[in-house]
Chain A
């Protein structure tokens, strides 16, 4: 494709591409996101392609390897347009049947349809599935139509029209005003108003400025940035171009973790394609606006998601935060004014420009506008990516979309916002997903990771897990984060091993407050949140560990013992053979016994027992 020299040429190209695709009657959209690739969707895509070629259908049927659809639990998923048939758990062997039955003859394949777990009925299309029904998919729905490696797909879907609109005589002030009016807030964690950030950067002195996309997502259980960047990289590029125009930057970076190979690859391809079309480079679309972009790959440090550490890392220095008494919008990358936004924030920008701020502000709650992508994981039926309008109660997210606990277990809590967020108990589930409300409750929206925990999760153990993660990921520069988090972990470790004392809980609280108030960067400031919220909402559990030396959830190994209930054990000997520590003894047909001294509490016997005869007390 040749370089585009004006907005009109882009429109021509769009028309031309649409004309070319006129004959396509059917589109097969196979998810090629990381989750589905792990369930062999690549093989499936190749198999479908082979079948289409063999049957001579390539002209009429378009095969599209898309980004993540969100319902990773059911992967690999296939959607066939125009009838919108939704197939899940598709294996490569099903390729022939899909092409022959559904595409050629319009028949449904019954066994690939999704079964609604509540009604038990088979469901034909995506919109009938409860998981999708309650969502408001503004960003994720675009993933479905686009092959991330094809700029053509993005242009056909109306891409880069927001850029055209902005280049057409709109001043930076007008863009910033629009973003401010939309009420867009940073999706990376802090929820800082994006418009204010941009206007501060625009006002900052200096003619060399930068925009950066933060795709250094490292929260356990969160992967929404990954899926957006993998599934629709041009959307991010367009958002960043608009942002660059607004703040007056000529250079941008996408800072993406090297552990996301697909995201690195797709953004690299996207940048190359945009350069080839002249959408990046000097005098974009014949205007006076020039902008170029590069990818900076992160080395896998969680702390590099913090703005100053990220910028140090882009500069090639050690990824450590520095004090932010002067904000990065004034003194950022290479000591120049820099606007850093999260992937999802950038992804929201083109739609705001195209559809207007009032459209965006019409969604969401009082203080938090628009939609938010949440990564629903943990002990829940439907895991995956969920996009909801802000202000939706947690209840609805966990029970309506998520479908409730696995195996009918009671849900106890949800950890929102990753390791820096907090645990909210089920009584607080009427709270909305809203920056201010959740912050008040001691948690935060954060990047949007939601880890659901049920009655079999020990909250002390959960706090220990997140503290261990944060201690490993702390850069070690400042005392409270390096030593304070370590000491908190030490205390919690003692509690889980039954050596805790009651006064340690107060010490824990005091230490947590000190760490959160005095740490250098956001990592340390939010590190005690898991401890503080679990102490606040689940104090009885801590006390049970200390006073009764019992772990109510049966997780902390030092405080539990495995026992065989004699009435239920029929002496089948399965556990006896399964125990690798030889801790189980007993004669055939007679009830078995676990030798507490030899038992390593690995839990193998319990999972092997078919009669539910092994108990944890």
Chain B
């Protein structure tokens, strides 16, 4: 039998299923927390840190990722305080500076309130969210790719760089990759990367009601409620 616990997310008392994460609970109840590496039904690794929330314990606030935090009775969660929004904006800024050629990440950046990017753009192909690695390992039990290297050298690769036979080229990894959708105008040329800002209506919306949903491109694949 399913057990339930009461948690308070942004002041709303939610009757949540025990054992689910705060992020899943919040999304199910229409409180959208930006996230990138989280995919429903896959394990959570807390890599992108975008889904950070404030967890109040004994009057102290801990900043932690909501995807890895499981609901507990009497929990107090704040998803959109000034502090959290600032951290999230800085994280999204780092992210979009790494990979401006992803519509999903551009959307997330707008959604998190990034107005300018203060770092030189790097135009990388992968943000190491690990969605592909986990879907391959957990859904298809194939383990055809994994993380290789440490720190700066970390990348996703096949074992020893060769595509193994047990990769059936099912394409799940491509399906989930946030880098596959380019911004509306197509890929940006090296040196011309910018914060997209083409979707002005979205920017305005994000401005007026910070933390509100802008129907981001990534939402389609994570079924964030709006698209369900």
> Using a CB–CB distance below 8 Å, which chain A residues touch chain B?
301, 303, 318, 322-323, 325, 471-480, 482-484, 486-487, 490, 507, 510-511, 514, 517-520
Contact = CB atoms under 8 A, between A and B. Distances in A.
Contacts of A476: 128, 147, 149-154
Contacts of B97: 487
Interface residues of B, number: 33
B58 to A, nearest CB: 14
6 contacts: A474-B151, A479-B91, A479-B94, A479-B128, A518-B49, A520-B65
Contact of B118 (A301, A303, A507): A507
A490 B119 contact: yes
Contacts of A322: 45-46
Given A476-B149, A518-B49, 5 more contacts: A471-B151, A474-B152, A479-B47, A482-B154, A483-B95
A520 B50 CA distance: 12
B147 A318 contact: yes
B63 interface: yes
B121 to A, nearest CB: 12
A303 B97 CA distance: 26
B80 interface: no
A507 B95 CA distance: 16
B68 interface: yes
B228 to A, nearest CB: 27
B70 interface: yes
Contact of A475 (B49, B127, B151): B151
Given A325-B70, A478-B47, A511 B128 contact: no
A134 to B, nearest CB: 38
A487 B94 contact: yes
Nearest to B64: A325
Interface in B45-93: 45-49, 52, 63-65, 68-70, 86-87, 90-91
B98 interface: yes
B49 A478 contact: yes
Contacts of A518: 49, 52, 63, 87, 91
B69 A514 contact: no
Nearest to A474: B151
Contacts of B151: 471-476, 482
Nearest to A520: B46
Contacts of B63: 517-518
B143 to A, nearest CB: 13
Contacts of B49: 478-480, 518-520
Nearest to B146: A318
A345 to B, nearest CB: 24
B115 to A, nearest CB: 14
A157 to B, nearest CB: 42
Contacts of A517: 63, 87
B36 to A, nearest CB: 9
Contacts of A511: 90
Contacts of A510: 90
A325 B150 contact: no
Nearest to A519: B49
A325 B154 CA distance: 25
Contact of B46 (A301, A478, A483, A514): A478
Interface string B102-138: 0000000000000000111000000110000000000
Contacts of B153: 476
A479 B118 contact: no
A487 to B, nearest CB: 5
Given A487-B119, A514-B91, A518-B87, A323 B152 contact: no
A483 B127 CA distance: 10
A303 B151 CA distance: 10
A517 B52 CA distance: 10
A487 B121 CA distance: 11
Contact of B68 (A323, A475, A486): A323
B65 A323 contact: yes
Contacts of B90: 510-511, 514
| Leading 10 A-B pairs by shortest Cβ distance | A476-B154, A323-B68, A514-B90, A474-B151, A476-B151, A323-B46, A483-B94, A518-B49, A517-B63, A325-B69
A483 B118 contact: no
Contacts of B65: 323, 520
Nearest to A325: B69
B154 A480 contact: no
A265 B128 CA distance: 39
A477 B118 contact: no
Nearest to A485: B151
Contacts of B119: 487, 490
Nearest to A326: B70
A478 to B, nearest CB: 5
A483 B45 contact: no
B94 A480 contact: yes
A552 to B, nearest CB: 27
Given A323-B64, A476-B128, A486 B46 contact: no
Contacts of B46: 322-323, 478, 520
Contacts of B95: 479, 483
A301 B45 contact: no
Contacts of A483: 94-95, 98
Contacts of A325: 64, 68-70
Contacts of B94: 479-480, 483-484, 487
Contacts of A471: 151-152
B150 A301 contact: yes
Contacts of A479: 47-49, 91, 94-95, 127-128
A479 B130 CA distance: 12
Nearest to B69: A325
Nearest to B149: A476
